[in-house]
Amino acid sequence: MTLKLFRAAAVGAIATLIVAPASAQSPADFYKGRTVSIVVGSSAGGGFDLYARMIGRHMQRHMPGAPNIVVSNMPGAGSIRLAQHIYAVAPKDGTVIGAVFAGAIMDPLLGARTNKVEYDAAKFTYIGSANSEAYVCLARKDAKAQTFADALNTEIVLGASASGGSTLDFPTLLRNVLGAKFKIVNGYPGTNEISMAVESGEVQGACGYAWSTVQSRRRHWLTDNLVNILVQEVPEPYAEMTKMGIPVAQEFAKTDEQRRILDLVYAQLRFGRPYIASPGIPADRVATLRKAFVDTLNDPELRKEADKLQVDIDVLEGGAMQKFVAELYTTPADIVEKTRAALRPK
């Protein structure tokens, strides 16, 4: 072997020694001493923030290497701002998790809003969902419409987020598909601000409002008889509300096409509080994050806290969620196009 070849071989051997330990680094070694950020795509004080901070308090115990867990907020465009950050800007190493609205995952499919979406939802790494959500339309007791049937003939003023998100999409859907007489006032940063507007009488109600948030953050609305729950916005009837005599939106559909449109939009509630990460994360870290997420939500201490906060836990594992999202993106084009039109403000 010539000196030149020997040197090349030696350099290659040294490089192998340097690279091999890094590529063989276990998740525990990687996460030890690091910080994992959970970023919430809505303002502080709302239901998504409540869930994320609860998860953040317990997740360290279930993460190999016991990294620090820090929760922060990045509201904007119904979580689309955060989704685009996760997709294109956040490191692809498994240190940043986004708690986004389900609508941000569906937006590239339904494409109803004017926001410029620059991500492929099928390529996100899905960590899982904390619950299968049920949404509702609700109205103050002093609103002229006391039932959803009333709202088909009598105007209600609803508060909604600044852009995108369920509080804007869902009343728009019911207005366009079923003919609900909703006047939608959008511009609120998040659910917390909409709730305050409802309480102050600035608006008369809201749609696309999480039932779990009513139960946890606004329980007094029910106990003090301050609001009426007008209708369930759900993929399937929610047992607790059905017992209360609250109808589902699909009951008011007049055609099969209307029902299919409602069903497609409401399908996202099966992953009511999704947690996502960047594409391209090493497979062993994906498996670690998914397992830690499930173990955290099944932790007896977290469950005890969830009971105290009156929040629902219904875990959807990340791999199952990844497959479900992929299936939604195979919906026939004609139904997708009609659903897009139904979500478009008129």
* 114 and 145 together in one domain: no
Tokens representing residue 227 in the block? 């609001």
Give Rg (Cα) of the chain. Answer: 23
203, 233, 268 - which closes a domain: 268
* 49 and 149 together in one domain: no
Asked if residue 7 has pLDDT above 70, the reply is: no
| Residue 260 belongs to some domain of the structure | yes
* 143 and 105 together in one domain: no
Asked if residue 288 has pLDDT above 90, the reply is: yes
CATH of the domain at 55: 3.40.190.150
| Residue 16 belongs to some domain of the structure | no
* 191 and 83 together in one domain: no
| Residue 5 belongs to some domain of the structure | no
* 151 and 259 together in one domain: yes
Those residues with Cβ within 8 angstroms of residue 190's Cβ, 6 or more apart along the chain or in another chain = 42, 43, 45, 46, 75, 161
| Residue 151 belongs to some domain of the structure | yes
The pLDDT-based confidence of 78 (bands split at 50, 70, 90) is confident
* 157 and 264 together in one domain: yes
CATH of the domain at 250: 3.40.190.10
Asked if residue 71 has pLDDT above 60, the reply is: yes
* 174 and 249 together in one domain: yes
Tokens representing residue 109 in the block? 């499919």
Find, among 100, 108, 54, 103, the residue nearest to 74 by Cα: 100
CA-CA-CA-CA torsion for 149, 250, 173, 211, nearest 10 degrees? 80
Alpha-carbon distance of 158 to 177, in angstroms, equals: 17
* 178 and 238 together in one domain: yes
Task: Provide the mean pLDDT of the chain.
Answer: 90
Residue pLDDT, tens place only, 144-195: 999 999 999 999 999 998 766 789 999 999 999 999 999 999 999 888 899 9
- Residue 111: per-residue pLDDT: 77
- Residue 115: per-residue pLDDT: 57
Task: State the residue range of the domain holding 79.
Answer: 24-132+269-342
Q: Which residue has the higher pLDDT, 326 or 11?
A: 326
237, 268, 299 - which closes a domain: 268
State whether residue 227 is helix, strand or coil.
strand
* 111 and 65 together in one domain: yes
- Residue 213: per-residue pLDDT: 87
Angle among Cα 243, 245, 247 to the nearest 5 degrees reads: 115
Instruction: Return the H-helix or E-strand segment holding 241.
Output: helix 239-243
| Residue 40 belongs to some domain of the structure | yes
- Residue 1: per-residue pLDDT: 47
* 151 and 249 together in one domain: yes
Asked if residue 12 has pLDDT above 50, the reply is: no
| Residue 3 belongs to some domain of the structure | no
Alpha-carbon distance of 247 to 231, in angstroms, equals: 5
Asked if residue 120 has pLDDT above 90, the reply is: yes
| Residue 12 belongs to some domain of the structure | no
- Residue 18: per-residue pLDDT: 41
268, 300, 333 - which closes a domain: 268
* 255 and 177 together in one domain: yes
Residue pLDDT, tens place only, 22-50: 446 999 999 999 999 999 999 998 889 99
pTM of the predicted protein model: 0.75
Q: Which residue has the higher pLDDT, 309 or 254?
A: 254
* 127 and 274 together in one domain: yes
Number of domains forming the structure of the chain: 2
Q: What is the percent of the chain with per-residue pLDDT over 90, rounded to a whole number?
A: 79
| Residue 263 belongs to some domain of the structure | yes
The CA-atom distances, in angstroms, between 311 and each of 40, 176, 217, 338 are 17, 31, 9, 34
Alpha-carbon distance of 277 to 177, in angstroms, equals: 34
